[in-house]
Amino acid sequence: MQQLTQKLGSGEMEVQEVPMPMVGKGMILVRNHYSIISAGTEKSTVSAARKSLIGKAKERPQQVLQVLDVLKKQGPIQTYRAVKKKLDAYSPLGYSCAGEVLESGEGVTDIKKGDFVACAGIGYANHAEVVAVPNNLCVKLPEGVSLKDAAYNTLGAIALQGIRQADLRLGESCAVIGLGLLGQLASLMLRASGVRVVGIDIAEGTLKLARDNGAADLTLQRDTAGIEEKIRDFTGGIGVDSVIIAAATKSSDPINFAGSICKKKGSVIILGAVPTGFDRDPYWYMKELELKMACSYGPGRYDLNYEEKGIDYPAAYVRWTERRNMQAFQVLLSTKAIDIGYLTTHEFDFSDAAKAYDLIMNRTEPFIGVALKYDVEKPQKTEAVSINKFNKSSKVNLSFIGAGSYAQGNLLPNIPKVDWINRVGVLTNTGTTSKRVAEKFDFEFCTPNEQDVLNKKTNSVFIATRHDSHAKYVMVALRADKHVFVEKPVCLTLEELEEIKEIYEAKDRSLMVGFNRRFSPLTQKVKQKFGDGPMSMIYRINSGVIPKDTWIQDMEIGGGRIIGEVCHFIDLLTYINGSLPIKVAAAAVPDHHGHNDTVNILLTFANGSTGVVAYYANGAKDLPKEYIEIFASGSSAIINDFKELKIYGKGNTVKKKLLNQDKGQKGMVESFFNGLKSEGRTPISFEEIYAVSKATIHVLTSLKNGGQQVEV
């Protein structure tokens, strides 16, 4: 299939062939008939991408600070890779479309193949021939709706959420500042609900569109002389009941102007991208005005449970969710309560999408919405996209399942470039990621099909998907007789771990988990000095806070931070002392989310060693993240954030300092491949993987039992 993409670094835009997106649980596969370019919103996105690096930095100062933070903590190499990955990635464009359902994923019951739907969401409802959209970001269309009009789905829901925040009644008045696409939609729906509308804009062209199409009762150019008096006359001297700001500007004029025209104790709704630093006097304070933000499509937006897992809010308590806003908008279209046909001022075939953006960037005439029309007669096949025609076979024939930020920054760049490793296929959730990874790292093809990367040619598979799918893909790959490298954790539950063990023992294949810290050169130095044997170990991690709505905090998807990250630290202590964990006990500092991410874990090992993992989310950001101390036989070692090592004991103190932080990713990847080449075995034994994974899961068991010690 074809998709419109843009590179953030160069601004290069093209319609290119990519694999179809995967249809996961709760997802819907849709063949687009139309998608909508919002001239205002998407112009900003494209403009930023076409700027120089300095221009990009000025546009996104917060991201510059993040880059500097990575540079400080991880060094120039990792920083360069992270920035390069971002700049070179194919970024999808678009967020509002409509079309026909090709397939419904597991758990979707209200939408079926052949239904016509409208879709929403950045990263989902893209400008592409086929899109995969979560159920709660997709609505079935009523009879009689034009698919072109229905494609305004996202914009309609955004505008409607702004109206709901205004909470207006029949006969009241509302000023809409900014009559771009959102402003026009809001004005149309306000008038349809019996609210009197004053439309305000700086451009006469958009005002004329509103006048000619019945979107406002009164239209005024912002620089009209006596504009405040005209609005007071229109409202009988009261002022408008509410103001919806749908403009996009860095000026504070809209927010202050809203204060001047709003009635006392009225409300101002921010729908567009404008500063909110209003002047306290003379209007905002004296009138006791209320300022509200309209969050995108409505309740449910940015909620992982709602958007990704499909858990709805009860209508009795949350009447208007983002999906119900979309449905309401489509009903307005189907009943002809609003007519938005005039909003599509230009239409392009999808193959000419780049020209549409060029028109937007260089526009000299007033226009608002641009529709992209798709060739719905074109056959669409779920098949691999060939990238490099190597057609060779080697000792190791490698495919990737999942290739997100971590894989692109730490796994793929470290694959040795040798003739005995052949790179076969890439499978990810999105076609753009699959293609970019296949191109950049020289794979033969990218694909939406699991069977393509598990074919007879592939004998080794890297799994770097989200945590909840690790166990599934490990089992599938082992059953297909592949050697497996899986990014941690290997699984989320004891049941999954036991099933993996059963399959592993029945197959003559290797399994390795991405426990990279044991491969750090500083860890290796400690291991050489201390060997095996009883020792005392302390591993303090200043992990920092992760928001509760981040996917890793979700127990079903990420497994939480203990399953998702603490396994690293238990593995390192296991490696250093040379024996398996046999007992674990844990105590957590209470937190109101119940995340248990400030926790002390006491480990007992088979050779008598003890270890403490002190995982703290409540520390200072500027404290280095990881600090390890090892004590044995009159010697002590300190590893500070995998940058610095000190070993104390008999003789002189050993000191080693690295220019760049090295957590062992390069050594880990190289060791995996060297193991396959030499003996067909990987450097971490399954016994260690099993014991470390089980001990990690039992940390949660101990916490549930009030800190009781649990045997591994």
Digit-coded pLDDT (tens) for 389-439: 876 788 999 999 999 999 999 999 999 999 999 999 999 998 999 999 999
* pLDDT for 56 beyond 60: no
Decide the pairing of beta strands 536-542 and 511-513.
Answer: unpaired
Q: What is 371-391 written as a DSSP string?
A: EEE--TTS------EE-----
Contact 597, 615 (CB under 8 A): yes
Contact 140, 110 (CB under 8 A): yes
Q: 284: part of which helix (H) or strand (E)?
A: none
Q: Which of 14-23, 383-392, 530-539 has the lowest mean pLDDT?
A: 383-392
Give the rounded distance of the alpha carbon of 99 from its chain centre.
24
What token pair was written down for 73? 């903590």
pLDDT at position 120: 97
620-669 pLDDT, tens digit each = 988 999 999 999 999 999 999 999 999 999 778 899 999 889 999 999 99
Mean pLDDT across the stretch 381-393?
84
**Average pLDDT of the residues of the chain:** 92
Tell whether domain 516-711 is in CATH 3.30.360.10: yes
What token pair was written down for 540? 């303090």
* pLDDT for 246 beyond 90: yes
Shortest CA distance to 36 belongs to which of 432, 368, 342? 368
CB neighbours of residue 546 within 10 Å: 17
**Number of residues that make up the chain:** 712
Q: Give the amino acid at 358.
A: D
Residue ranges of domains in the chain: 2-152+303-373, 168-293, 392-513, 516-711
- Name, in order, each residue with C-beta under 8 angstroms of 176's C-beta and a sequence gap of 6 or more: 183, 186, 187, 190, 197, 198, 199, 200, 216, 243, 244, 246
Cα–Cα distance measured from residue 625 to residue 409, given in angstroms and rounded to the nearest whole number: 19
pLDDT at position 85: 60
What token pair was written down for 84? 């390069």
DSSP state of 408: I
667's torsion region: left (phi>0), alpha (psi -120 to 50) or beta? alpha
Q: Which of 159-163, 165-169, 385-389, 532-536 has the lowest mean pLDDT?
A: 385-389
CB neighbours of residue 194 within 10 Å: 11
Contact 461, 453 (CB under 8 A): yes
Cα–Cα distance measured from residue 710 to residue 704, given in angstroms and rounded to the nearest whole number: 11
Tell whether domain 168-293 is in CATH 3.30.1360.10: no
Q: Name the CA dihedral angle for 471, 472, 476, 477, rounded to a multiple of 10 degrees.
A: -40
User: Out of 3.30.420.40, 3.40.50.720, 3.40.50.2020, 3.40.720.10, which CATH number does the structure's domain 392-513 have?
Assistant: 3.40.50.720
Shortest CA distance to 369 belongs to which of 12, 4, 39? 39
- Name, in order, each residue with C-beta under 8 angstroms of 235's C-beta and a sequence gap of 6 or more: 173, 196, 263
Shortest CA distance to 642 belongs to which of 617, 664, 669? 664
Shortest CA distance to 486 belongs to which of 509, 502, 505? 509
Give the rounded distance of the alpha carbon of 621 from its chain centre.
23
Most distant CA atoms of the chain, gap in Å: 92
pLDDT at position 618: 93
Contact 596, 546 (CB under 8 A): no
* pLDDT for 501 beyond 60: yes
57 falls in which pLDDT band (50, 70, 90)?
low
Mean pLDDT across the stretch 337-362?
90
Mean pLDDT across the stretch 338-363?
89
pLDDT at position 595: 83
Query: Could you check whether 168-293 and 392-513 share the same CATH topology?
Result: yes
* pLDDT for 608 beyond 90: yes
76-93 pLDDT, tens digit each = 766 766 666 666 677 889
Mean pLDDT across the stretch 477-495?
97
Please report the sign of the dihedral spanned by the C-alpha atoms of residue 651, residue 657, residue 663, residue 665: negative
Cα–Cα distance measured from residue 637 to residue 277, given in angstroms and rounded to the nearest whole number: 53
The model's pTM: 0.88
DSSP state of 128: B
* pLDDT for 119 beyond 70: yes
Q: Under DSSP, is residue 563 helix (H, G, I), strand (E, B) or coil?
A: helix
pLDDT at position 87: 66
292-348 pLDDT, tens digit each = 999 999 999 999 999 999 999 999 999 999 999 999 999 999 999 999 999 998 999
- Cα dist from 436 to 77, 128, 635, whole Å: 20, 16, 49
Q: Is residue 232 packed enough to be buried (19+ CB in 10 Å), middle (13-18) or exposed (0-12)?
A: middle
Please report the sign of the dihedral spanned by the C-alpha atoms of residue 332, residue 335, residue 339, residue 345: positive
167's torsion region: left (phi>0), alpha (psi -120 to 50) or beta? left
Q: 396: part of which helix (H) or strand (E)?
A: strand 396-401
Cα–Cα distance measured from residue 624 to residue 633, given in angstroms and rounded to the nearest whole number: 28
503 or 364: which carries more pLDDT confidence? Answer: 503
pLDDT at position 51: 59
Mean pLDDT across the stretch 516-537?
96
Q: Domain 2-152+303-373 is classified in which CATH homologous superfamily?
A: Medium-chain alcohol dehydrogenases, catalytic domain (3.90.180.10)
What token pair was written down for 694? 């089980």
Cα-flanking dihedrals φ and ψ of residue 349, to 5°?
Answer: -65, 145
b/e code 108-127 from CB counts within 10 Å (16+ = b): beebeeeebbbbbbeebbbb
548-570 pLDDT, tens digit each = 888 899 999 999 999 999 999 99
Q: 461: part of which helix (H) or strand (E)?
A: strand 460-463
Long-range contacts of 585-594 (CB under 8 A, 24+ apart): 585/702, 585/707, 585/708, 585/709, 585/710, 586/699, 586/702, 586/703, 586/707, 587/703, 587/707, 588/703, 589/618, 591/617, 593/548, 593/553
65 falls in which pLDDT band (50, 70, 90)?
low
Q: What percent of the chain has pLDDT over 70?
A: 92
pLDDT at position 55: 62
Contact 698, 602 (CB under 8 A): no
Place of tokens 């203990």: 562
Mean pLDDT across the stretch 189-215?
95
- Name, in order, each residue with C-beta under 8 angstroms of 71's C-beta and a sequence gap of 6 or more: 79
Shortest CA distance to 323 belongs to which of 144, 642, 573, 108? 108
